[in-house]
C-alpha cells in the first residue's frame, strides 16, 4: 500500500484521481504469494424444479445425470448435487417470498405490506445474505480485496423492488438491486476505461483552445491560463499512461441494441455471463450473483416452442405430463446457461495462477422452491460446479432434510470465514453442513 501511494504521489496523482487509475492492473496491489483466488457465483432460476427429471437415482460418486442436469455431463466430475437441503425459515410471507428472501439470508422476513397468496404480508429479509457476507469478509482483507467486492447480475428482473425480485441483501432491510441491463453493467465495469479514451482526445482540443485564448489575455492575467494549461496537460499525460496500462485489459465487445424484452432472454443471458467471466478475468470481484428473472418469474420460452409463462406452468399437477415436459425443458434451458458459464470458466486460464477460472470458482445453482405445484421449500434443487472451495466434487449426496442455513455456513467456511451460525441460529444447531469436503 505504501509503495503504491508513494508511486501515485510521484506521478502527481491526487487521491481524487484514483477513480481513474485504481482499477488498472499496473496500479493494482501485488498480492502476497498466499492462497489461491477463490470465487463464488450464486445462480438463481425460479419456480422449483421437476424432481423426477432432476435428482439422480444414485448416491455417491457413481451416478447418472437426469435430463435437466444433462448439460453438465462434461463436468460431472466437477459437479456436486445436494438433495435434502431445505429452507426451513417460516414466518411472514408466502413460500415464493420466503423462498427468495431467505434463500441466501436464512432468516425470517419482516412483517410488511407485500401480500402474496393468502399468507400474511411481509417486507424485506431481516438479515444480510451469504454472498454479501462473504464479499464483506474478502473486502476486509488487503490480499482479497477487489474493486467491487461483489457483482449482482440479473436477467429480465422486473422493474419493481419487492420481496420476489431481490435475493441479495447488504443487511436487514437492505435489498440489493441486480443489474439486468448488460449495457448498464458494461458501463459500471468499463465506463472509466471508455471515459479515459474520450477525455484524452477532448483534452487535446481543450489545450489547443487554451493556448489560443492565452494570446489575447494580458500579461498579468496570462499566468492563470498558463497554470491551467499545465494541469490539463498533466491530466492528459495521466490518461495516456492509464490508456497504455489498459491495453492489457480484456474489455469485452457487446452486441449493440439488444432490448430488454422476453424474446431476448437468451442473448441477454449470454451477454451477462460473458461480462461475468470478464469481470473475473480482470479480478473486479470474487463474488457474484446471477438472477434469472425473479421468484414467480414468468418468462415465456418461445425459443423452446413454449408459449405459456413459466410460473403459470409450474402450478400444474404432477399428472399433467404435457406441462411437466415443458417444465423439464425450461429447467434444462436454465441448466444449459449454467453449463455455458462452466464451460467459459473452464476454458479461461486463471490470470497469474494455475489452471482455469473454474478450478478456483464455485457455482451454486439454487431456486426459491423445491417444486412449483406444491410450493414446497424442501429439497431445494441445489447443484454446485467448480473447484473454488475445496469441496469434494463429482458426487450426488442426500441429506436428511437439513436446514439450508448449514449450507450457507459451509460456503463461508470454504472461504476461511469460520462463522458459527448464519441467518437464524436456531437452524444452525448442528453446525456447518458436513460431508462436502
Partner 1 sequence: MRHLSVFAFLLSISLTACSPGDERSGILDRGRLVYEAKCISCHGQNGTGTPDAPAPLFGDRPVSELADVIDRTMPEGAADQCTGDDARAVAEWMQQAFYSPEAQARLNPPRIELTRLTVAQYRNAIADLGTSFRWRTVPGSQRGLNADYFSSRNHRRDRRVFQRLDNAVNFQFGAFSPDGEKISEDAFAIAWEGSLIPRESGWYEFVIRTENGARLFVNNRATPLIDASVRSGSDVVFHGSRYLLSGRLYPIRLDWFKFKEPTASVQLLWKSPGSVEELIPERHLVPEGSAEVLIAETPFPPDDRSAGYERGISVSPEWDEATTNAAVEVADRVVASVRDLAKIRDNDNRTEKIREFGRQFAERAFRRPLDEETRRIFVDEQFAAAKSDEEGLRRVVIAALKSPRFLYREVTGTDDQLDRASRLAFALLNSVPDAALMEAAAKGQLATEDQIRQQAWRMVGDSRARSRMLEFLRSWMNLDRIQDIAKNPEAFPDYTDRLSADLKISLELFLEQVVDSESGDFRQLLLSDTIFMNGRMAQFYGAGLAADAEFQEVRFEPERRAGIVSHPFLLSGLAYTETSSPIHRGVFLSRGILGRGVKPPPIAVSPTAPELAPDLTTRQRVIVQTGPEMCANCHGLINPLGFALENFDAVGRHRGSEKGQPIDATGQYLQRNGGLTRFNGARELAAFLARSEETHRAFVRQFFHHMVQQPILAYGTDSIQELSESFKNQEFRLKNLQVEIAVRSALRGWSTNSQPVVANAPNSSP
Which H, E and C letters describe 191-236, residue by residue?
Answer: HHHHHHHHHHHHHHHHHHHHHHHHHHCCHHHHHHHHHHHHHHHHHH
**What is the three-class DSSP state of 271?**
helix
Q: Which is nearer to partner 1, 126 or 144 (CB)?
A: 126
CB of 269: closest distance to partner 1 in angstroms? Answer: 25
**Site residues (CB under 8 A) for partner 1?**
12, 14, 16-17, 109-115, 121-124, 126, 161-163, 172-173, 195, 198-199, 201-203, 205-206, 208-210, 213, 216-218, 220-221, 224-225, 227-228, 231-232, 234-235
Q: Taking the complex as a whole, how short is the minimal distance between the CB of residue 115 and partner 1, in angstroms? A: 7
Q: Which is nearer to partner 1, 203 or 281 (CB)?
A: 203
H/E element holding 383? strand 382-385
**Shortest separation between residue 91's beta carbon and partner 1, angstroms:** 11
For the CB of residue 25, give the shortest distance to partner 1 in the complex, in Å. Answer: 23
Residue 101 or 386 having the CB closest to partner 1: 101
Shortest distance in whole angstroms from residue 350 CB to partner 1 = 34
Closest C-alpha among 131, 136, 133, 137 to residue 153: 131
From the CB of 205, what's the least distance to partner 1, in Å? 5
Shortest distance in whole angstroms from residue 420 CB to partner 1: 24
Q: Strand, coil or helix: what is 410?
A: helix
Start-to-end CA span in the chain (Å) = 35
**Closest by alpha carbon to 292, among 100, 433, 425, 125?**
100
Q: What are the Cα distances from residue 243, in Å, to 137, 199, 246?
A: 32, 11, 5
Chain center to CA of 176 = 11
Of 77 and 231, CB closest to partner 1:
231
Provide the minimum distance between the beta carbon of 243 and partner 1 in the complex, in angstroms, as a whole number. 15
Which CB atom, from 12 or from 351, has the smaller least distance to partner 1?
A: 12
Helical packing angle, 265-281 and 182-216, nearest 10°? 60
Q: Is the Cβ of residue 220 or residue 322 nearer to partner 1 in the bound state?
A: 220
In Å, how far are 88, 98, 188, 406, 427 from 423, measured between CA atoms?
A: 11, 13, 30, 10, 8
HSE-CB at 314 with a 13 A cutoff on CA atoms is: 28
Our CB check for partner 1 shows the closer of 164 and 399 to be: 164
Residue 97 or 363: the one with the smaller Cβ distance to partner 1 is 97
257 or 317, CB closer to partner 1?
257
Phi first, then psi: give them for residue 71, nearest 5 degrees. -55, -15
Q: Are 165 and 157 in contact (CB under 8 A)?
A: yes
Residue pair 165/289 in contact by the 8 Å Cβ criterion: no
Task: Report residue 395 as a C-alpha cell.
Answer: 458426487
Element (H, E) at 367: none
Least distance (Å) between residue 118 CB and partner 1? 13
* Closest by CA position to 331, among listed 367, 375, 374: 367
- Residue 426, SS3 per DSSP: helix
Amino acid at each position: 500500500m505504501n509503495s503504491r501511494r508513494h508511486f501515485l504521489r510521484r506521478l502527481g496523482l491526487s487521491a481524487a484521481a484514483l477513480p481513474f487509475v485504481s482499477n488498472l492492473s499496473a496500479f493494482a496491489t501485488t498480492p502476497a504469494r498466499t492462497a489461491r483466488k477463490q470465487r463464488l457465483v450464486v445462480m438463481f432460476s425460479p419456480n422449483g424444479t421437476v424432481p423426477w427429471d432432476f435428482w439422480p437415482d444414485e448416491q455417491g460418486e457413481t451416478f447418472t445425470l437426469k435430463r435437466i442436469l444433462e448439460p453438465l455431463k462434461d463436468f460431472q466430475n466437477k459437479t456436486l448435487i445436494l438433495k435434502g437441503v431445505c429452507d426451513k425459515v417460516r414466518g411472514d410471507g408466502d413460500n415464493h417470498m420466503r423462498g427468495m428472501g431467505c434463500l441466501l439470508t436464512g432468516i425470517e422476513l419482516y412483517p410488511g405490506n407485500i401480500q402474496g397468496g393468502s399468507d400474511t404480508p411481509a417486507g424485506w429479509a431481516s438479515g444480510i445474505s451469504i454472498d454479501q457476507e462473504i464479499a464483506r469478509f474478502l473486502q476486509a482483507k488487503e490480499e482479497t480485496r477487489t474493486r467491487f467486492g461483489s457483482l449482482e447480475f440479473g436477467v429480465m428482473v422486473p422493474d419493481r423492488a419487492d420481496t420476489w425480485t431481490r435475493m441479495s441483501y447488504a443487511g436487514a432491510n437492505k435489498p440489493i438491486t441486480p443489474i439486468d441491463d448488460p449495457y448498464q453493467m458494461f458501463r459500471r465495469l468499463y465506463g472509466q476505461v471508455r471515459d479515459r479514451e474520450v477525455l484524452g482526445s477532448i483534452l487535446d482540443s481543450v489545450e489547443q483552445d487554451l493556448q489560443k485564448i492565452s494570446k489575447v489575455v494580458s500579461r498579468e492575467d496570462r499566468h492563470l491560463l498558463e497554470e491551467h494549461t499545465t494541469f490539463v496537460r498533466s491530466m492528459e499525460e495521466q490518461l495516456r499512461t492509464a490508456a497504455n496500462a489498459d491495453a492489457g485489459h480484456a474489455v469485452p465487445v457487446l452486441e449493440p441494441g439488444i432490448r430488454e424484452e422476453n424474446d431476448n432472454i437468451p442473448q441477454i443471458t449470454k451477454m451477462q455471463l460473458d461480462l461475468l467471466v470478464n469481470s473475473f478475468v480482470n479480478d473486479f470481484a470474487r463474488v457474484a450473483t446471477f438472477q434469472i428473472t425473479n421468484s414467480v418469474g414468468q418468462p415465456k420460452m418461445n425459443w423452446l416452442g413454449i408459449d405459456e409463462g413459466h410460473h403459470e406452468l409450474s402450478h400444474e399437477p404432477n399428472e399433467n405430463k404435457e406441462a411437466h415436459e415443458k417444465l423439464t425443458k425450461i429447467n434444462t434451458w436454465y441448466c444449459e446457461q449454467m453449463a455455458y458459464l462452466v464451460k467459459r470458466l473452464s476454458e479461461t486460464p486463471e490470470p497469474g495462477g494455475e489452471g482455469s477460472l473454474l478450478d478456483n470458482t464455485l457455482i451454486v445453482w439454487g431456486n426459491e422452491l423445491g417444486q412449483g405445484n406444491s410450493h414446497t421449500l424442501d429439497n431445494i434443487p441445489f447443484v454446485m460446479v467448480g473447484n473454488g472451495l475445496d469441496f469434494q466434487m463429482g458426487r450426488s449426496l442426500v441429506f436428511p432434510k437439513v436446514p439450508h442455513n448449514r449450507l450457507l455456513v459451509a460456503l463461508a467456511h470454504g472461504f476461511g470465514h469460520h462463522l458459527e451460525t448464519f441467518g437464524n441460529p436456531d437452524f444452525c444447531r448442528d453446525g456447518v453442513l458436513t460431508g462436502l469436503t
